Structure 1
């Protein structure tokens, strides 16, 4: 976010506090991006050391969420912000919650990666998981970039990419359902793939959520549970 997105206050300390929570969101986002990327690489390439790293490093993301949540609470209590200041604090609180949950999904993917065999990685579903993983990683990166600059146009574009993530997820699940029906002995391993795909699909959902918070901060409009078309209209200010 450029500094001109912040309303300047008589209290310089208040300005610093708002800029600092925004900066820490980006630090947390960077950690989560790294965690997700490593989990997907562990799954696709059989990098067990990466899978173990992801599983044991989730505490860093959790600690940042707790710290940021406390700082936001203190701002609400001491500063009693209004208008755009209040929207910023609310957007930060919601964003760090989604980032923490993306971290949880990355940890689950890392744990699943420890279960996959070399044979699994040479079959279609694992390759398709890698494609879905790359897509949601890109979504998360772009959503965080939109949050950094409070760019509503980019936020809308990224949110719309969730349609493709959902489509990829459905293809994987349908394929695995057919496989399990025809080869019941594959059910345990296929379910590992299903749950991994579900975790990746949720990452896409949460990246979209972050985009919605950008629209909320900039336009003051709550676009959760609305269509992509309605989100775009609210983001541009077009009320037609």
Structure 2
């Protein structure tokens, strides 16, 4: 059975309603922090802002703490409320989403670390165009995945899943271009490797945003698409989801 956000505020127990709303609120707060970490890490890299990169690294522990808090809240609800049906899906979806957000935070930390490495050595801006392009696409994916979760919007979740394929293609194209550049200019290898690791981190963030979109579809439709590619779904399946 499909569910909407309103259906999670119709329990006899007001306390249970508050606990479920608290899960969604805290997940969105975690998502907002992770989104900021990604933006700050990219800004630090592209602007050569070492102080901002260090700040991203310092705040990584806050993302970890927020995941632990959400896990505790979910465990409490599972033990005390023994939720069923859509309520159980919400709790499980929050656990999955929090894990993906924490890993996005880890990737933002990696971007900040490589930004500092690039600032510490001699390098040019080779690969920065690719980082800007892939970074903008990935940030859109993260924002849309969080919006889809907040609104229980499976149509937007499907758009995130489709965008992941575009990010993968851009990443592969950038990889080929930069590997060719390193072969032609061996002196550039050290700096370009840091750029490649940044692009890899962005591609992984896109994967986790895709996972978050899958969690939305699981939450609303009860469908587990974790090992299903969009190309394996027919038009009716896609219409039913969106």
Q: TM-score range by the shorter chain?
A: over 0.9
- For 1:53 and 1:103, locate their aligned partners in 2 and report how far apart those are by CA, in whole Å: 13
The question of whether the paired residues in 2 share the 8 Å contact of 1:7 and 1:85 is answered with: no
Query: Any stretches of 5+ residues in structure 2 without a counterpart?
Result: none
The question of whether the paired residues in 2 share the 8 Å contact of 1:88 and 1:217 is answered with: yes
- For 1:10 and 1:55, locate their aligned partners in 2 and report how far apart those are by CA, in whole Å: 44
The equivalent of 1:68 in structure 2 is 70
TM-score, normalization by structure 1: 0.93
* Cα-Cα RMSD: 1.9
The equivalent of 1:26 in structure 2 is 28
Alpha carbons of structure 1 residues 59 and 168: separation in structure 2 relative to 1, 3 Å = same
Secondary structure of the 1:161 match is: helix
Give the count of matched residue pairs: 237
Per-residue deviation, 1:228:
1.4
Q: Does 1:44 align with 2:46?
A: yes
Say which of 7, 15, 18 aligns to 1:16.
18
TM-score, normalization by structure 2: 0.92
- For 1:44 and 1:134, locate their aligned partners in 2 and report how far apart those are by CA, in whole Å: 12
The question of whether the paired residues in 1 share the 8 Å contact of 2:31 and 2:101 is answered with: yes
The equivalent of 2:107 in structure 1 is 105
- For 1:61 and 1:110, locate their aligned partners in 2 and report how far apart those are by CA, in whole Å: 15
Alpha carbons of structure 1 residues 184 and 224: separation in structure 2 relative to 1, 3 Å = same
The question of whether the paired residues in 2 share the 8 Å contact of 1:7 and 1:84 is answered with: no
- For 2:76 and 2:115, locate their aligned partners in 1 and report how far apart those are by CA, in whole Å: 40
